[in-house]
Structure 1
Amino acid sequence: MSPKPSRIARVRSLFPSSSRAESLRVGEILRKETVGGILLVTLAAIAIVWANSPWADSYFALRDFEVGYEPWHLRLSLGAWAADGLLAIFFFLVGLELKREFVAGDLRKPSTAIVPIVAAIGGVAVPAVIYAIVVAGAPGMVQGWAIPTATDIAFAVAVLAIIGSHLPSALRIFLLTLAVVDDLIAIGIIAIFYTETIDLIPLAFALVAIAVYGVIAQLGRRFFHLRAGAAWLVLLPIGVAAWALLHASGIHATIAGVLLGFTIPVLHKKTARAADAGPGLAEVFEHRFRPISAGVAVPVFAFFSAGVAIGGVDGFISAFEDPVVIGIMLGLLLGKPIGITLATWLVTRIRRVTLDPSLRWIDLTGVGLLAGIGFTVSLLVAELSFSSGSEHHDHAKVAILTASVVAALLASIVLGIRNRRYRQRANANDG
């Protein structure tokens, strides 16, 4: 009688090894985002110091200085331009990256894609529930429930790139995809729950502009003989018009970035291309806009959003009497790792899969802690949740900044230890 096959032999791997091309591409993104993450932290630190210095009035005057064209609802403060305008570039790349992952990346297979999607949902739901429980019964605070649900890609991957030189590539891809899906969920939350009124006429024109943008992006090479290197010059003004119209409709304008990113054609890595065809449109946009996003858009937004008058040590301590602060910090520091790890564990139970042999559950816990770095999108949601200048508005920013720093430190400890373990294993194999 032949022996019964072992269960381990039949189970599938939760994070299968990625292709070399995908690993190299993710590594390149990590390097670019590392520079952006350093700039983000630097400008945020400058803003905090400036906002709490004797020259604080000049910082707030700069942030609140208005420029633009009033009839189109485009007369905004510099801080609002950073949140509504510059972040649209960031979210354009989010949309482009998400489409690439599902069209040409390792997540094009539903069996693989389900893992980071479920993990992202868990990482959004649990922090929101924790926040809601903490502020339950407190008037005017519940609208901040979405603040601790976001993960900052630039900040998180910057920390990972610094401390995770020997971590498995599957873990890096998991974090990147998790953060992208997380941001997509955050954008959906903003569109649904933080849009008070909608003007249908500008919205209709915005959708037309996005459709025209998509048609040119998809068919420009074939019917208009537009090379990818020149197509962006045609598409850019249409994209700006779509952004302005969506902003005028009352929907947060960063959503235009995601929608436009989805329209860009992404070639499957097995798709043949003529030798003289040149790079595709997705590659051109990635090359041109990622440095702008990581090096300018996100750091400038952080500069204008992170500046909050703490009021010295006493003011910082007193902020923790606000349930909003406790809810945000618990959501980011506990809700994120619990939600991500628990959701991933449930996937393994339901789908009868196991971790890749090179990974351990402590690795996922470290990624969950890293996902607790909310920062960019959390600051954006805080701007939408509480009116500027209100106590909860400033306290929410204090909580986001504090939780992000603590999450980065905790993740650095956990993943740093794991990185040393993987480095020792690699050295032993080389020996």
Structure 2
Amino acid sequence: MVKPSPRLAKVRAVFPSSSRDESRRIGEILRKETVGGILLVSLAAIALLWANSPWAESYFALRDFEIGYEPWHLRLSLGAWAADGLLAIFFFLVGLELKREFVAGDLRRFSTAVVPIVAAVGGVIVPAVIYLAVVAGSPEAAHGWAIPTATDIAFAVAVLAIIGSHLPSALRIFLLTLAVVDDLIAIGIIALFYTETIEVLPLVLALVVIAVYGVIAQRYRDFFHLRPTAAWLILLPIGLVAWALVHASGVHATIAGVLLGFTIPVLHKKADRGPDSGPGLAEVFEHRFRPLSAGFAVPVFAFFSAGVAIGGGEGFVSAFTDPVVVGIVVALVVGKPLGITAATWIITRIRRINLDPSLRWMDIVGVGLLAGIGFTVSLLVAELSFAAGSEHHDHAKVAILTASVVAALAASVLLGIRNRRYRRLDAADAES
């Protein structure tokens, strides 16, 4: 690996003391998300092909088929169930991962948390500004300003896991923490800017149920004398009630997943768990729900969201006459890496923090390109920004798919080159 210079050794570094356990945990997440990322891309491609085939009507009929119970505001199309229901599982894990990072991960220390947090903020502000500059003069198009601000964790880490076998672990940790904070910002944007009307009574009841859920989660051993593997069976139905109430309140139902994730207790990695304590509740939930999220929930959401009728090659080309498409593509492919790299450079200069000695600035640019893969959350925000069936709605999806593919290819090329360099360094170190 790259040897730290004497000058660098005297200055604080980003993630300077990432433990072996933390690196192993990040590696396990990357491996799990690789399969999910492949399924996500595969189902999105199938949906896109189906929606532009002679059998397109059957796809849209399936997506718009309604099922559920109307009095509870739960009679939804299959596409809406995927966006509001299945995606809540994904956001539950996002909330759980955030809680873990702030309690037991690298984000628990301000000196290491400040860099990915500021980088994520830069990766939100710059794309939003670029998008608004491109669509200036069109108030309707401006509604989609938040579409290019999100990063798809599953897609990004899947690409990194495939091409980054020898990249430094600090870079992997940086990407994951950056993407998690990015998703937290996206969650806040959805809650603040994409909630049109709020029903007070269901929202209050939802908060009460979430509070009960949190108390039981924190004190489950005292209440039931249960081990974590049994406690989740009691918490699951309570969580479903909380989700239904949040949905009925008018707040996007995925927010319920995040709030529930925040309530789950996370054991500090230095805590004395005792010889018979076994895994904590956070570990049990992650073990049970991550495969469901990565292997089913997110790919199914992608299947129902990515199917858009392009209208052949001419339709694809004509879509790029829409400023919404140009704005999204430029914001994700250029704005994301620019915002992340610039924000990282600024904060490291202000705080006198250097990159981890094993990293170079070109690696950060590569992570910025990976963050330009908006996909899952961007598709969700597009659904919330423009009315279904409108020109901007369909064009926004075309732009997201295009930008995500371009960003993934560009990141693969750059990080692939960096990966080969690190592999040669590893081989040289092994021989010496």
TM range (shorter): over 0.9
Alpha-carbon deviations, 1:124-182, whole Å to 9, x = none? 00000000000010131101000000000000000000000000001001101111111
Q: Does structure 1 retain, via aligned residues, the 8 Å contact 2:15–2:106? A: no
Aligned to 2:193: 193
Partner of 1:258: 258
Cα shift readout 1:311-332 (whole Å, capped 9, x = no counterpart):
0000000000000000000110
Q: Distance in 2 between matches of 1:333 and 1:419?
A: 21
- Checking the alignment, whether the CA contact within 8 Å between 2:8 and 2:357 is kept in structure 1 is no
1:209 match: 209
Determine the structure 1 residue equivalent to 2:332. Answer: 332
> 1-side partners of 2:19 and 2:87: how far apart?
31
| Equivalence for 2:283 | 283
Quote how far apart the aligned CAs of 1:224 are: 2.3
Matched, 1:25 2:25: yes
Q: Please give the alpha-carbon distance, in whole angstroms, between the structure 1 residues aligned to 2:355 and 2:266.
A: 30
Separation in 2, partners of 1:181, 1:352:
22
Structure 2 portions without partners, runs of 5+: 1-5
Q: Which amino acid aligns with 1:33?
A: E
Deviating more after overlay: 65-74 vs 349-358: 349-358
After TM superposition, give the deviation of residue 14 of structure 1 in Å. Answer: 2.4
Per the alignment, residue 229 of structure 1 pairs with 229
Partner of 1:387, secondary structure, is coil
Q: Tell me if the contact between 1:17 and 1:170 (Cα under 8 Å) persists in the aligned partners.
A: no
Q: Aligned AA for 2:215? A: V
What residue in structure 2 maps to residue 96 of structure 1? 96
Counterpart residue identity of residue 309, structure 1 = A
Judge conservation of contact 2:266–2:281 (CA < 8 Å) in 1. Answer: yes
User: Which range moves more in the overlay, 221-230 or 294-303?
Assistant: 221-230
CA–CA distance in 1 between the matches of 2:17 and 2:356?
8
1:3 corresponds to which residue?
A: none
Structure 2 counterparts to residues 75-86 of structure 1, below 5 A: 75-86=75-86
Distance 1:223 1:373, change over 3 A: same
Does the CA contact (< 8 Å) of 1:244 and 1:253 recur in 2?
yes
1:408 is aligned to 408
Q: How far apart, in 2, do the equivalents of 1:425 and 1:177 lie?
A: 26
Q: Provide TM-score, normalisation by structure 2.
A: 0.98
Provide Cα deviations, 1:57-104, integer angstroms capped at 9, x if missing partner.
Answer: 000000000001111111000000000000000000000001101101
Q: How does 1:161-172 map to 2 (within 5 A)?
A: 161-172=161-172
Q: How do residues 340-351 of structure 1 correspond to structure 2 at under 5 angstroms? A: 340-351=340-351
Gaps of 5+ in 1: 1-5
2:149–2:378 contact (8 Å) kept in structure 1: yes
User: What's the CA shift for 1:286?
Assistant: 0.6
CA offsets per residue over residues 21-56 of structure 1, 9 Å max, x none?
000001000000000000000000000000000000
How many corresponding residue pairs? 426
Where does residue 114 of structure 1 map in the other structure? 114
**Structure 2 CA distance, aligned partners of 1:303 and 1:387?**
19
TM-score (norm 1): 0.98
Letter aligned with residue 279 of structure 2:
P
Q: Secondary structure at the match of 1:107?
A: helix
Q: 1:68 to 1:173 in 2, by over 3 A?
A: same
> Which residue identity is paired with 1:239?
G
Query: 1 CA distance for matches of 2:120 and 2:389?
Result: 32
Cα drift, residue 15 of structure 1 = 3.2
Structure 1 stretches of 4+ moved >6 Å: none
The reply on whether 1:270 has 2:270 as its aligned counterpart is yes
